[in-house]
Amino acid sequence: MYQTLYRKYRSKKFSELVGQDVIVKTLKNSIKNEKISHAYLFVGPRGTGKTSTAKIFARAVNCLDNDAGEICGKCSMCNISNSSECLDIIEIDAASNNGVDEIRNLRDKVNLVPNQLKYKVYIIDEVHMLTIQAFNALLKTLEEPPEHIIFILATTDIQKVPETIISRCQCFNFSRMTQQNIIDNLSKICNEEKINIDLEVLKQISLAADGGMRDALSILDKLISYGEDNIKLDDFLQLNGLVTVTEIESFINYIFSKDVKNVIDQICDWNLKGKNLIQIMMQSLEYLKDKLIRAYTDNNDINTNKYQMLANLLNEKMINIKKSSNPNIYIEIILLDFISSLNNELNISREIIPEKSSSDNNVSRETLLESKNTINYKQIEKKDITNSLDEQNSNIRDIMNVRINNTFIDATKNELKQMINEFSKLNDYVFDQNIGYLVCALLEGKIRLSSSEYIVISYEYDSVVSTNIVNYQKMESVLKDILNINKKIAIISDSDWNKVAKDFIENKKNNISYEYIEEPELLFDKTKKIENNTNNKNNDSISDVFGDIVEIY
């Protein structure tokens, strides 16, 4: 069976770790000088070597001939620790084993002496996923650990780890890999795999990986499958729905020269070719940043104000672009507004706007631009719309509350674990042009509860909850289509979840059971066709042209 690159080339010694020299030196010195702590906390972005370092350290502290802190790889202890059957190096995934029962079970076992090695090492990955009760159970063990026990905790989200846990650990902050670190390591791997690859491809991979070596290796894996033994820049661009720097440069020039026709045509062309418009906007942002840096460092003669304005606009709107149901239309609108701000007054003749339709919208560009410039938004009563939105929001929140109540009735821990594991498969669809914004919304939440019929997901901020509850039906469709999960979603804020969870515990103690409640009817179902309102033609025309991507005032 084919072994993926990130598994095949996972570091097995300190000398093989990339980009974490200070941490490696500190850990090796602690082993060499026999100043080993009972608990370590590894903090950093994904794919930066936290788990690999933990495994290496677990083997090194048990090595009989660890010269200067490095693993010898030959002694009997190294052979045992390198075996998949080793009982003294235990890895725990806190994402799926986050309950107090699991930690209590661990606490009961730590007093047992190691089976074969000198130290028994527990590696708890994604430790921030533990519940408060589980953290409290772990705290006692960290305060008074047996001499033969070492804990290595790893997390990508240190803010969610209690201070009481952090203060009892030696903390190491893993930094993102530099682009050069990634390029050098990928080049070495390609040589070993006998893969011909352009240097520019390695640079693009290092940018896309955003400092994560594992992500970089995953991208390279896909490229090898696509381009086989000879990988060119065009392979990378095709596979990731990107375009060349020359195309980006031309597109930016169209914007700055206020050439609306070519701006719209270019976006349409990319969309029809199946390019990833979200990533292309990221490319544009990267291009603008490079131009600004060169302008200030090399004194290039460009209008830095225009570049700064456009860079700020794309950076500010990137989240909305990702969440938009029609990214191509949304991008067109913000760029038309930008061009308008450059020109103070946007005058577009009908003759230069082709009657094209995007693949996602049947409205012609002529109609879109005409509507944008002629609709009087002030004619629409803000008060009436606000009342309607408040009523809609209240209706949906009533539905959410009923669903949370019903979930408590038959929710199980096994259902919760299964949902958490299933949701990880959504990562493959984050950059999907059509559903990426919904996938991101699902992955950003925390799965709190799951039953045979419902899933409860919480979010940190109320504003995010308000945004996502409007799209809950679309999110359910994504789960059904991608994961074959046919469950109803309930969305709640983290603070509200803490309250309902506390109430549930109190009710359980008092033997108060939850009864099934019939779900209220959805009064504002967007999946049903709405009759045109002849008394509000302006509102209809805006909705027809822009859909859900703009707010109407």
Q: Which residue has the higher pLDDT, 129 or 532?
A: 129
Where does the pLDDT of residue 388 fall: very low under 50, low under 70, confident under 90, or very high at 90 and above? low
Q: Is the dihedral of CA 386, 389, 395, 396 positive or negative?
A: negative
Phi, psi dihedral angles at 163 (to 5 degrees): -60, -30
Count Cβ atoms within 10 A of the Cβ of residue 371 and give its class: 0-12 exposed, 13-18 middle, 19 or more buried.
middle
pLDDT at 164 over 50: yes
3-state secondary structure of 420: helix
- 23 closest CA partner among 127, 214, 174: 174
> Which segments of 74-126 are extended strands (E)?
89-93, 120-125
489-505: pLDDT as tens digits:
999 998 899 899 888 88
Mean pLDDT of the 429-439 span = 76
pLDDT-above-70 percentage for the chain: 85
List the single range of 208-212, 289-293, 417-421, 431-435 with lowest mean pLDDT.
431-435
Rounded-to-integer distance, Cα 285 and Cα 104, Å: 49
- CATH fold of 245-374 reads Zinc Finger, Delta Prime; domain 3 (1.20.272)
Mean pLDDT comparison of 270-279, 335-344, 543-552, highest-scoring range? 270-279
pLDDT at 370 over 60: no
pLDDT at 446 over 80: yes
The DSSP call for residue 361 is B
Rounded-to-integer distance, Cα 447 and Cα 423, Å: 9
Predicted pLDDT at 273: 87
Predicted pLDDT at 451: 93
Mean pLDDT of the 507-534 span = 70
Whether the Cβ atoms of residue 312 and residue 306 lie closer than 8 Å to each other: no
Residues carrying CATH 1.10.8.60, the chain: 179-240
545: which residues sit within 8 A by CB, 6+ positions away? 363, 367, 368, 371, 372
Candidates 3.40.50.620, 3.30.70.1380, 3.40.50.300, 3.20.20.70; CATH matching 5-173: 3.40.50.300
Rounded-to-integer distance, Cα 340 and Cα 344, Å: 6
List the single range of 324-328, 361-365, 497-501 with lowest mean pLDDT.
361-365
pTM over 0.85: no
116-153: pLDDT as tens digits:
899 999 999 999 988 888 888 888 888 888 889 999 99
166: which residues sit within 8 A by CB, 6+ positions away? 41, 158
pLDDT at 57 over 80: yes
Predicted pLDDT at 389: 53
The DSSP call for residue 15 is G
Predicted pLDDT at 265: 92
Tokens of 53: 């370092």
453-482: pLDDT as tens digits:
999 999 887 777 877 888 899 899 999 988
Predicted pLDDT at 1: 63
Task: Give start and end residues of each alpha helix (H) in 382-455.
Answer: 382-410, 413-423, 436-444
Residues carrying CATH 3.40.50.300, the chain: 5-173
Predicted pLDDT at 351: 37
pLDDT at 508 over 60: yes
Render the burial of 342-352: b for 16+ CB within 10 Å, e for the rest.
Answer: eeeebebeeee
pLDDT at 369 over 60: no
pLDDT at 379 over 70: no
Where does the pLDDT of residue 42 fall: very low under 50, low under 70, confident under 90, or very high at 90 and above? very high
Tokens of 355: 């009657």
Residues carrying CATH 1.20.272, the chain: 245-374
Predicted pLDDT at 55: 94
Give the chain's count of helices (H) and strands (E): 24, 10
pLDDT-above-90 percentage for the chain: 33
Rounded-to-integer distance, Cα 285 and Cα 295, Å: 15
Predicted pLDDT at 553: 32
Q: Please tell me the total number of residues recorded for the chain in this structure.
A: 553
Predicted pLDDT at 390: 59
The residue behind tokens 């709640």 is 492
Predicted pLDDT at 431: 65
Whether the Cβ atoms of residue 127 and residue 154 lie closer than 8 Å to each other: yes
Where does the pLDDT of residue 112 fall: very low under 50, low under 70, confident under 90, or very high at 90 and above? confident
Q: Which residue has the higher pLDDT, 342 or 87?
A: 87
* Domain 179-240 falls under CATH 3.40.50.300: no
414: which residues sit within 8 A by CB, 6+ positions away? none
List the single range of 196-200, 218-222, 283-287, 342-346 with lowest mean pLDDT.
342-346
Predicted pLDDT at 367: 46
pLDDT at 354 over 60: no
Mean pLDDT of the 319-344 span = 83
Q: What is the mean pLDDT of the chain?
A: 81
Mean pLDDT of the 220-237 span = 85
How far from chain centre, in Å, is Cα 40?
A: 26
List the single range of 284-288, 395-399, 404-408 with lowest mean pLDDT.
395-399
168: which residues sit within 8 A by CB, 6+ positions away? 39, 139, 142, 143
Predicted pLDDT at 60: 93
Where does the pLDDT of residue 405 fall: very low under 50, low under 70, confident under 90, or very high at 90 and above? very high
Mean pLDDT of the 515-521 span = 89
